[in-house]
Structure formats: C-alpha cells, structure tokens
Structure 1
Amino acid sequence: MVDNSRMFLDPQLEKAELRLKLLQKRKALSPAEWQEKSHRICGNLQCTDLYQNSLTILAYISFRQEPDLSPLFSDKTHQWGLPRCVNKQLVWHRYSSGDTLKSGKYGILEPMSDAPLLQADEVDLILVPSVGCDRQGYRLGYGGGFYDRLLSLPQWQSKPTVGILFGFGDLLQLPIALWDKPLQAVCTEVGWRQIPSE
C-alpha cells in the first residue's frame, strides 16, 4: 500500500533537481577520495551475511564516479554478473575479472554479447548503483528506469537488492512515483543499513 503522505506534486521534477545536486557532489570527489570511499564500501559489503552467503552476485562497472566495486570481482568465492543494455532492458552476463568489456550505447563498459547469460533463478543478490536512497529504501537512479523495470518482473521481485552509493546520497526521504521499488538494504562508506520490512 502506498503512503500518500510521501507523494509529491511532481516527483519527476524534484528527482531531476536532486539527481543533479547529488551527481555534482559525486563529481567533486577527488580521485583519492573516490577510491578511498569506494574501498570502504567494498569492505562494509564484504562484512555482511547477505554478501557472504550469496554465490552469484549482480554488480556493475563504475561510470561517472559511481562507487567502484571492481576490487570485489577478484573474489573467487562468488560468481559475478554484469549488465548489458539491450533496448530498454538489462541483460545479465557472467563476468570474471579480466574478461573483455566493450563500451555500450551509454558509454558504460559492458560484457560482450556472446558472454554466457545469467538467468534470474541463478542470482542470489543484486548490487544496485544508486545516486541516492532514502530511509524506506527508495532509490534515485539516473532516470532511465532500467532497474525499476527489472525489479518489477516476477522472476526478479524476490531477489535481495542493495543500493550502492556514497554517504551524502543517503537521504531521509525521496520523492517517489507509483512504479518505484524499494531496495532491501543500503551500503555506503559509512556502513550498512538494512531497510525495515513493512
């Protein structure tokens, strides 16, 4: 059930303004700050039971100073998956550290189209790149809707999702739309936060 007190007059407009502010903050990080905060995010994630108990984990390649998860990909106790944008959908491929990647249509590095596919029933955890997240687990992305569409599909709805972001994007409340899907947890350089189930 949607809490109407959280509805905003124009959530898309408010999201666009907020997204711009948070992306500017992210862009202002020095390379050393970005690397250090990313390293702490990886460490916080590795300490969680959810991460340790997951065999196959979907992640992403950092773009525009998103938190860098690439140090995790050498962890051979997990199998990794990376997304490829096909039309308006994300298709997931197996990835091992060192596999060839190519620039996709948005300039993001993606697996090759002939890399082995991953199906939903093989996946234990999804690490979701996020510009911002709020206390209820609602996420602010880039506005393309790729993850909203993915997480609305029946085969993906039960998968644990963790928003990966820097601490300045961990907000009290975000404007939400009816199609927004809350995440189960948030991981920043400050720590790990489980979202209370309603």
Structure 2
Amino acid sequence: MSLQKSKIQLRKQILQERRSLNPTVWKEKSFQLCKNLETFSLFQSAKTILAYFSIRQEPDLSFLFNSSQKWGFPRCVGQSLVWHIWQRGEILETGVYGILEPQSKAVMIDAAEVDLILVPAVACDAKGYRLGYGGGYYDRMLSSPEWYSIPTVGIIFDFAYLPSLPKDNWDQPLNAICTETKLLMI
C-alpha cells in the first residue's frame, strides 16, 4: 500500500471516529484538553499564541480565548497561512475551506512575536509527527526559517494518539502533544 493511500485511509478512519462523538462528550473532552493545556509551562509563559477555530469536531479551544494572551488565527491565502490578531467579539469570515477566519483587514502577526503554536491535527504519533488534512499548510509554514524554532503543540483527542504514523520527508515533527488526559513533550 502506498504511503499516500495509507494516510488517506487513516485520516478517514480517525475523522469518522471524531465525527461520531456525542456533542456533550466532545465539549467535555475539549474542556479537559484546555484545562490540561493551561497547566503547560510554555502555555503559561506565552504572550502570543497561534491557534485555530474548531471544525469537524476538532478539539474546541474556545475555552482558552478569554485568557490574557494575545491570540492569532490563520487565514488561508493561496498556499499559505497568514496570521492575524483576533479578540473575542471581533467579526469573523468564513474562509475557502469553510473555516472561520479573522477579517483580512485585521492586524497581522509576525513570526517574531509568536511564543507558541497550537496545531490542529487529525492524529499525532509518539515522535511528534502529525497527520493533517492533506493540504500541507502547516508543514510548509513550520519548515520555513522564521517559524521552525517556535514551540508547537499538536492538539488531538486520546484516540488520535498513535504509536506511529506514515510520514513523508516534508512532514514536520511537533514539540509536544496535548490531549484531554495527557501532555507529552517530544
């Protein structure tokens, strides 16, 4: 079986499991994940954090967005992620993939300002590799010099933490993984 085919099948399987979560269970798992993340020293010391708005029952990080940190969220522009500051209550737009995004006129964030990146994932493995949605946006960003030294945390539920994942040579490992029951440094 080819690497891409195995990634596609694994992605389909885990997304199906995530979609099957009861909404109450999903919210509770998300809340516990956020509580776990709040105990992480890198989170506590970060002044500017990049995050995401949950889609397809990804872990919901919105419980964190009232904290004192400055929050950045991506807009998909061409093949890149462009990051903007966002505060609760500011208007969001629906982007090309149906994901909520800050407005294009929102203040942009430079990589030099960022202390921590919370990375959405379909699955993560024990070596910090991540299975994403297949667009390559995060791998491209994290491989560029201005971003690769910023700490990254993969955000998943326990069932999406696997011993190993198929990986390509462009896949970028993460520094840590956070689930609803554990926080693992890689």
Percent of residue pairs identical: 55
Displacement of 1:11 after TM fit? 1.6
Amino acid at match of 1:92: W
Residues paired across the two proteins, number: 186
Displacement of 1:85 after TM fit? 0.3
CA distance in 2, matches of 1:29, 1:150: 30
5+ residue gaps, structure 1: 1-8
Q: Could you list the per-position Cα deviations for residues 142-194 of structure 1 after superposition, in whole angstroms to 9, with x for gaps in the alignment?
A: 00000000001100010100000111000000001000110000000011011
Q: Please point out which of 6, 15, 39 is paired with 1:23.
A: 15
Match of 2:76 in 1: 85
Displacement of 1:12 after TM fit? 1.2
Q: Could you list the per-position Cα deviations for residues 3-61 of structure 1 after superposition, in whole angstroms to 9, with x for gaps in the alignment?
A: xxxxxx62211110000000000000010010000000000000010100110000000
Q: Please point out which of 39, 52, 62 is paired with 1:60.
A: 52
Q: Secondary structure at the match of 2:162?
A: coil
Match of 1:5 in 2: none
Q: Is 1:51 aligned to 2:51, yes or no?
A: no
Displacement of 1:117 after TM fit? 0.2
Q: Please point out which of 5, 12, 32 is paired with 1:13.
A: 5
CA distance in 2, matches of 1:101, 1:174: 34
Q: Secondary structure at the match of 1:63?
A: coil
CA distance in 2, matches of 1:55, 1:84: 21
5+ residue gaps, structure 2: none
CA distance in 2, matches of 1:26, 1:11: 22
The equivalences for 1:1-198 within 5 A come to 10-76=2-68, 78-195=69-186
CA distance in 2, matches of 1:104, 1:48: 31
Amino acid at match of 1:172: P
CA distance in 2, matches of 1:135, 1:21: 19
Amino acid at match of 1:44: N
CA distance in 2, matches of 1:132, 1:13: 16
Q: Secondary structure at the match of 1:177?
A: coil
CA distance in 2, matches of 1:49, 1:75: 15
CA distance in 2, matches of 1:123, 1:11: 33
Q: TM-score, structure 1 length as denominator?
A: 0.93
Amino acid at match of 2:6: E
CA distance in 2, matches of 1:20, 1:190: 24
Match of 1:3 in 2: none
